[in-house]
Structure 1
Amino acid sequence: MRGEASRLADRESRDSFALQLSKVGEDTWRIGNELFTITALLDGNAALEHALTEPSRSTEDKMALLSGILGERVHPFTMTILEDLVKRPWSRSADIADAVEDFGVDGMMYYADHTNSTAQVSIELAELHSALIDLPVVRARLQDTRANSDARVKLLHDILDGSGFNKVTLRLAEHAACNLRKRRYLSTIQWLIGKFSRHMGQSLITVTTATHLSDEQIAKLVDVYSAKLGRPVHVNAVVDASVIGGMRIQVGEEVTDNTVIAQLRHLQDTVKVGV
């Protein structure tokens, strides 16, 4: 958990650049990717994190260090973001990597805005999350720290091949697999869903059923959950015949599973306990 100084540094820096980043347009794709790469660089080098957050070290010295590592290969706006981050106080050295990752996600969100695909990406992330809930073996392999990042990313590509997902969705899913950052894969996808929902000013409700919901059913769910949460909601309706019947509703990390398959599993577990 980040300390107060780190949370404040992250929030203030991102707020100060939000408008500028939103206007960069096509280059937000490049900036987001660069920031994800730098996140991985920092995660693998505690000495570098310490050097970039050392209060007694000047901003100029810190930027000279970064320039020596990154050269002129990165976008000028990426360097502007990094310069702002290294001049701020941090509770822990490792927290600066979290802030760089936050900026990377922001870059991807603004690229999605630029390409009018923000809602699509949010829905696709929810579809991925919903699909992985019932695939514990796949989840375990995606977050296996014993496997190298290339193996995890290849597995992800094999899973999503032919999915038709937006390239932002694919990149975010790939980032989550490539750099685990001491998180469970499903938790990272849920975190990304939350960030996109807040970015759009609404909450995403994922509803999984065996058959397609009617427009009337979706409208009723929107009314119920908008009133319950006190803000607009978007219903992501996922059809999964394997649930047989009933409905699974996910709001953030809270899942209410009233599907037939869930009830059968509960009955099976109950029988095992009673034997």
Structure 2
Amino acid sequence: MRGISAKSLDEVLAAVSAAGSGSGDLGTELFDVVATLDREPALRRVLTDPSTEAEAKAGLAERIFGGKVSADVVTVLRVAVSGRWASGRDLTDGLETAGVTALIAAADGKGELDAVETELFEVGRFVRSDAELRQIVSDRGLPSAAKGELLSTLLSGKVSTTTLALASQAAAARTGSFERVLTAFGVIAADRRSRLLAEVRVATELDDSDKTRLAAALAKKYGRDVHLNIVVDPSIVGGISVSLGDEVVDGSMSTRLEVARRRLAG
């Protein structure tokens, strides 16, 4: 998000921060507001019309949503519609980001942020492993509520309520595929502590001391703390492969053997 929309998003996120970490209800209620505005493009246009006074738009939003959502959500919504947005879609995208941020803040406040980051990664792997499920959750033609119910059936009791709420929102596939959106949510979680996300593939599980040493080495290299998402993959034979953003550091034995084979093949 750029320009006037970026400035407005900063103001919305500041309003979320001012509301406190809470229980996470702020986040899920903001997702409900986003769903309503997505269904009502005419309302979205009115609430982002630059020719309408900010107070008038804020008052309209309060009349429509007041009594249906908490006072904190109304406060955030008033700030949102009082801002300037390059498009109506930027408003709803900004409110979705605000909802994610609120859920992440609540998880952090309860000491659950590390678990949520790992669970988001594992949910992404779980969906990728099933082609039919992957297609379903990324299909924008299917009702978001139905996709959310499917994920709830599959994931309830296996992940936290925060992770389930984020996964269900990612299934709305508003700004891209389920996997792309879920990854973006994971980045927001990592940014909460100014961390980077690293996918680490190893042949056998690392013990805690190995994880600590690896995280420290990566933090030294990149100048920021790093959250490790470990994947045990026997096919790499030995060594380790680390993906961090667009950068891949592949020291796996399988890769070394493949390089040697190609050199011998000439």
TM-score by length of 2: 0.84
Which deviates the most, 212-221 or 250-259?
250-259
For residues 110 and 252 of structure 1, do their structure 2 counterparts lie closer, same or farther at Cα, with a shift above 3 Å needed? same
Q: Which residue pairs with 1:20 in the alignment?
A: 18
Q: Which residue pairs with 1:105 in the alignment?
A: 100
1:60 pairs with 2:63: no
In the aligned structure 2, how far is the partner of 1:85 from the partner of 1:210? 48
In the aligned structure 1, how far is the partner of 2:241 from the partner of 2:129? 12
User: 1:15-67, CA deviations, whole angstroms, 9 ceiling, x for partnerless residues?
Assistant: 3x254223x533xx221111001111112222111101112212332233223
User: 1:55-113, CA deviations, whole angstroms, 9 ceiling, x for partnerless residues?
Assistant: 22123322332233223121111111111111111111221111111111121012112
On the 8 A contact 2:156/2:164 being kept in 1, the answer is no
Q: Which residue pairs with 2:242 in the alignment?
A: 249
Question: What SS class does the counterpart of residue 206 from structure 1 fall into?
Answer: strand
For residues 68 and 148 of structure 1, do their structure 2 counterparts lie closer, same or farther at Cα, with a shift above 3 Å needed? same
Q: Which residue pairs with 2:10 in the alignment?
A: 11
On the 8 A contact 2:16/2:102 being kept in 1, the answer is no
Gaps of 5+ in 1: 267-275
For residues 243 and 124 of structure 1, do their structure 2 counterparts lie closer, same or farther at Cα, with a shift above 3 Å needed? farther
On the 8 A contact 2:195/2:225 being kept in 1, the answer is yes
Q: Which residue pairs with 2:161 in the alignment?
A: 167
User: 1:226-272, CA deviations, whole angstroms, 9 ceiling, x for partnerless residues?
Assistant: 13322111223244568776645332365667779999xx9xxxxxx
Which deviates the most, 203-212 or 239-248?
239-248
For residues 160 and 210 of structure 1, do their structure 2 counterparts lie closer, same or farther at Cα, with a shift above 3 Å needed? farther
On the 8 A contact 1:248/1:258 being kept in 2, the answer is yes
User: 1:157-194, CA deviations, whole angstroms, 9 ceiling, x for partnerless residues?
Assistant: 3432442x1110111111111x2104111111110111
Question: What SS class does the counterpart of residue 78 from structure 1 fall into?
Answer: helix
Which deviates the most, 219-228 or 106-115?
219-228
Q: Which residue pairs with 1:184 in the alignment?
A: 177
1:229 pairs with 2:233: no
Q: Which residue pairs with 2:142 in the alignment?
A: 147
Which amino acid in the other structure matches residue 85 of structure 2?
W
Query: CA-atom RMSD, angstroms?
Result: 3.0
1:138 pairs with 2:133: yes
Q: Which residue pairs with 1:30 in the alignment?
A: 25
In the aligned structure 1, how far is the partner of 2:160 from the partner of 2:168? 12
In the aligned structure 1, how far is the partner of 2:137 from the partner of 2:235? 22
Aligned residue-pair number? 260
Q: Which residue pairs with 2:35 in the alignment?
A: 40
On the 8 A contact 2:58/2:78 being kept in 1, the answer is yes
In the aligned structure 2, how far is the partner of 1:150 from the partner of 1:137? 18
On the 8 A contact 1:194/1:252 being kept in 2, the answer is no
TM-score by length of 1: 0.81
For residues 204 and 91 of structure 1, do their structure 2 counterparts lie closer, same or farther at Cα, with a shift above 3 Å needed? same
In the aligned structure 2, how far is the partner of 1:81 from the partner of 1:46? 20
On the 8 A contact 2:103/2:162 being kept in 1, the answer is yes
On the 8 A contact 2:203/2:236 being kept in 1, the answer is yes
In the aligned structure 1, how far is the partner of 2:241 from the partner of 2:125? 9
For residues 244 and 185 of structure 1, do their structure 2 counterparts lie closer, same or farther at Cα, with a shift above 3 Å needed? farther
Which deviates the most, 135-144 or 74-83?
135-144
In the aligned structure 2, how far is the partner of 1:128 from the partner of 1:236? 12
In the aligned structure 2, how far is the partner of 1:45 from the partner of 1:83? 18
